[in-house]
C-alpha cells in the first residue's frame, strides 16, 4: 500500500493484522459501543463490532533520495514481552520490506514516534546470539525526553518488560553510535518533521510530511484506532497520561477537521489512511 504526498512516497509494510482482542488496550470500545459507530465497518471493525488493528512500518521516500522508516514494529526473536504472542515472534517483516523495494542497508533514517514495544522491535535483529542494528547505515532518531524517560525506567528495573525492551531494541543502536536524540519538533529534512503529540508517552511525537502543498500526518500512538475519533476520551490503557492524550486527540482532530491532510494511522488496519471530518460534536475518518 502506497500514498503520494506531493513528491514524497509513503509505503506501508505490515508485520501483523488482527481482529478483536483489543480490550486490553481500549477497554471502553466494547463490541456494543463500537457497533454504534457505523462508519467504522468494514475497514476498522467487523460486523460483530470487533476492532481491526495493525502493526506496520511506514517507509518515506523523498525526492532527494532519502529512505526513512517510521516505527519498527515488534521484531523477531524478542523475549520478556508481556503479550505472550509477542515473545519469540517469527514474522516475515524483513522479507516483506525487501519485497517492497527496501533493502535494509538502503535505509538512511529510522524514526521512533516513541519507545514502546511495537515501535522499536526491528531497530535490532538477532545475529549469532547478539542484538545488532537492523539498519546499519541509518541514523536512528529518538526524542530526547522519550529516551531519557525509558532509560530511567530501565535503570529503576521495576518492570521486567521495560528492561528487556531497552536492552534488546534501544541500547544496541545507542551503543553502536547510531542514535541522534532530538527535540519533539525536530525537522528531519525539507519534507519531514516531528510534531509533539504528548500524553501516550512523555516524549511522544507524530511525523508530518509536507510536499508541493500537500500534507500527511503519521499518527504514532496518540490514537490507536479510528474509534477514538468518535470518542477522543477513550484513552488507551497504555497511555502514560490519559488526560493529556485525550486533550492531544481533541486538539489534533480539531485542527485537521475538514482539511485535506492525509492522516495515516500507525495502528489503523486496511486502508490505514483518511481525512478527519467533523461528525456531530466529535469526528470521523473519511477513507
Ligand atoms: Zn503502538
- CA dist 9 to 4, 63, 65, 139, 228, Å? 5, 9, 11, 20, 27
Residue ranges for the chain with pLDDT beneath 70: none
Centroid of ligand 1 to alpha carbon of 138 (angstroms): 22
Expressed in angstroms and rounded, the spacing between residue 76 Cα and the centre of ligand 1 is 16
Per-residue pLDDT at 39: 97
The CATH number of residue 261's host domain is 3.60.15.10
Domain containing 191 equals 2-286
Nearby residues for ligand 1 (ion, Cβ within 5 Å)? 118, 221
CA of 157 to the centre of ligand 1 (A): 22
pLDDT of 209: 98
pLDDT of residue 70: 98
Count of domains observed in the chain: 1
Report the pLDDT value the prediction gives residue 241, as an integer from 0 to 100.
96
Tens digits of residue pLDDT in 148-158: 999 999 999 99
Give residue 111 CA to ligand 1 midpoint distance, Å: 14
Ligand 1 center–CA 66 separation, angstroms: 25
pLDDT in tens, 201-258: 999 999 999 999 999 999 999 999 999 999 999 999 999 999 999 999 999 999 999 9
Rounded to the nearest angstrom, the gap between the alpha carbon of residue 150 and the centroid of all alpha carbons in its chain is: 17
Q: CA 25 from chain center: how many Å?
A: 15
pLDDT of residue 287: 96
pLDDT of residue 166: 98
- The reported pLDDT for the residue numbered 180 is 98
pLDDT at 73 (0 to 100): 98
Is 185 in a helix, a strand, or coil? Answer: coil
Are the beta carbons of 70 and 121 closer than 8 angstroms? no
C-alpha Rg value of the chain to the nearest Å: 18
Amino acid at each position: 500500500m502506497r500514498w503520494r504526498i506531493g513528491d514524497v512516497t509513503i509505503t506501508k509494510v505490515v508485520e501483523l493484522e488482527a481482529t478483536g482482542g483489543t480490550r486490553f488496550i481500549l477497554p471502553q470500545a466494547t463490541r456494543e459501543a463500537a457497533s454504534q459507530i457505523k462508519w467504522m465497518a468494514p475497514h476498522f471493525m467487523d460486523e460483530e463490532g470487533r476492532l481491526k488493528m495493525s502493526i506496520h512500518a511506514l517507509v518515506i521516500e523523498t525526492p532527494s533520495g532519502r529512505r526513512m522508516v517510521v516505527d519498527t514494529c515488534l521484531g523477531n526473536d524478542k523475549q520478556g514481552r508481556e503479550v505472550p504472542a509477542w515473545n519469540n515472534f517469527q514474522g516475515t517483516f524483513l522479507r516483506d520490506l525487501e519485497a517492497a523495494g527496501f533493502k535494509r542497508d538502503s535505509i538512511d533514517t529510522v524514526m521512533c514516534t516513541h519507545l514502546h514495544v511495537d515501535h522499536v522491535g526491528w531497530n535490532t535483529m538477532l545475529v549469532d546470539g547478539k542484538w545488532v542494528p537492523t539498519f546499519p547505515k541509518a541514523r536512528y532518531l529518538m526524542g530526547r525526553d522519550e529516551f531519557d524517560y525509558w532509560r530511567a525506567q530501565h535503570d529503576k528495573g521495576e518492570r521486567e518488560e521495560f528492561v528487556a525492551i531497552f536492552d534488546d531494541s534501544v541500547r544496541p543502536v545507542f551503543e553502536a553510535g547510531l542514535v541522534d536524540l532530538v527535540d519533539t519538533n525536530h525537522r528531519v529534512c525539507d519534507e519531514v518533521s516531528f510534531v509533539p503529540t504528548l500524553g501516550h508517552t512523555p516524549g511522544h511525537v507524530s511525523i508530518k510530511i509536507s510536499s508541493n502543498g500537500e500534507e500527511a500526518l503519521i499518527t504514532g500512538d496518540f490514537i490507536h484506532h479510528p474509534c477514538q475519533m468518535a470518542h477522543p476520551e477513550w484513552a488507551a490503557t497504555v497511555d502514560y497520561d490519559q488526560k493529556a492524550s485525550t486533550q492531544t486527540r481533541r486538539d489534533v482532530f480539531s485542527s485537521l477537521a475538514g482539511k485535506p491532510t492525509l492522516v495515516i494511522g500507525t495502528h489503523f488496519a486496511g486502508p490505514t489512511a483518511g481525512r478527519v471530518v467533523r461528525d456531530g460534536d466529535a469526528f470521523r475518518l473519511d477513507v
